[in-house]
């Protein structure tokens, strides 16, 4: 008998980078990626305040989508 599991993991690759520290040797600020990931997760949940978003002229949804590709394309 085989067991097949399907897990829906939010931002799997970015969280693997965060958990295991897979960052580039050339990256000066090793926490920058994690900070962006946390910002995206907050935006995805709609938790960022208007005070933070207004200077950027963005909504939570726009910031969420705008950070998705750079975080997933990180190598």
For residue 64, the model assigns a pLDDT of 96
> Full-prediction pTM beyond 0.75?
yes
CA gap 74, 14 in Å, rounded: 8
Non-local CB neighbours of 7 within 8 Å, separated by 6+ positions: none
For residue 75, pLDDT beyond 70: no
Non-local CB neighbours of 52 within 8 Å, separated by 6+ positions: none
Rounded mean pLDDT, 59-72: 94
Residue range 7-21, pLDDT digits in tens: 777 778 888 888 888
Residue range 24-62, pLDDT digits in tens: 888 889 889 999 999 999 999 999 999 999 999 999 999
What would the two tokens of residue 73 be? Answer: 């394309």
């Amino acid at each position: 008998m085989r067991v097949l599991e399907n897990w829906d993991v939010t931002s799997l690759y970015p969280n693997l980078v965060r958990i295991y520290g897979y960052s580039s040797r050339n990256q000066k600020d090793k926490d920058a990626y994690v900070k962006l990931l946390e910002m995206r997760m907050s935006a995805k949940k709609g938790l960022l305040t208007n005070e933070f978003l207004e200077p950027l002229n963005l909504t939570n949804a726009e910031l969420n989508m705008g950070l998705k590709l750079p975080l997933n394309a990180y190598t």
